[in-house]
Amino acid sequence: MAKSKLEYIWLDGYYPTQNMRSKTKIEEDFSGKLEDCPIWSFDGSSTRQAEGGSSDCLLKPVAIFPDPERKNGYLVMTEVLNADGTPHESNGRATIDDDDNDFWFGFEQEYFIMDTKTQLPLGFPVGGYPAPQGLYYCSVGGKNTHGRQLVEEHADLCIAAGLNFEGINQEVACGQWEFQLFAKGAKLAGDELWVARYLLDRLTEKYGYYIEYHPKPLGKDMDWNGSGMHANFSNTTLRTCGSKETYEKICEAFRPVVKEHIEVYGEFNDQRLTGKHETAAITDFSYGVSDRGASIRIPIITVEKGWKGWLEDRRPASNADPYKIAGRIVKTVKSANV
């Protein structure tokens, strides 16, 4: 009888930045379908999700993808439930109000590739700095481009896993990269982003690297860009309204809830959102057409298509939870009542 390896992936209870955890379940004659993935349990006392005297938490499968690195392997994204089947307090996915998948999200995940021996981004010499940023963005050639082999392999893995992977590019700082994912449905967007992160983190194990998601790993006072996870989003209204006034009303709905958004947009984001390096200040709120220094950018393509398209919230940090980002954005857009 054929046996399959199901890698159950979940988010732990560390706060405010959760970590991925995973373990393998062996199933005989597995169909490959989500509905045939059983609910599983784990020791929540080891992940800050339960006390030792009542430690069982449940893993509810919510998305499945083929594992391109394992024979008969699957990647199973799960939600964490309490023992009684209710969503655990660490479960951001359960808070998303988008059961009809009306909201579409495209995430731009920035990150630094770090050398485990030097604890520095690729391209950084020990005891010094590389040339100032300027020539690294979308560069080619060994002088300015560092880590391409890992990045290309990661892209291949994501595509082979069936993720809606949309692109890669080296970013502004040395050793900094970005990938993009898109999904129709806020929950699915989060599922795919976490699985893509999982594949990236697991891949580093054979390179002697690790991924740094800290939004300002080189220090808040250093003249290097930080890492964000820009959230591009739309719903039927944004995709079809054809109205500048409607877009502005939706943008204005974000103004009174800046605090609520920043609370779920990532730890240490105050070090990144300074008003410099293509960011708006964390204390401000602004929006503008084609403005990468605004809190929310209205893409020029949206305007050219007669105010039919999407918006980009540029504030989320690279280490933020896409489930919580999406959940908060959905709530705010719906509050505009347009």
What domains can you pick out in the chain, each with its CATH number? Answer: 3-91 (3.10.20.70), 106-335 (3.30.590.10)
- Residue 83 in this model has a pLDDT that exceeds 70: yes
Phi, psi of 17, rounded to the nearest 5 degrees: -105, 110
Phi, psi of 325, rounded to the nearest 5 degrees: -60, -50
Q: How confident is the model at residue 278 (pLDDT cuts 50, 70, 90)?
A: confident
User: Quick check: helix, strand or coil at residue 37?
Assistant: coil
Looking at residue 223, its pLDDT comes to: 83
Query: What pLDDT digit, counting tens, does each position of 227-241 carry?
Result: 999 999 999 999 999
Q: How far apart are CA 153 and CA 207, in angstroms?
A: 11
Mean pLDDT for 77-88 is 98
Query: What pLDDT digit, counting tens, does each position of 145-174 carry?
Result: 999 999 999 999 999 999 999 999 999 999
Looking at residue 158, its pLDDT comes to: 98
Its pTM stands at: 0.97
185's torsion region: left (phi>0), alpha (psi -120 to 50) or beta? left
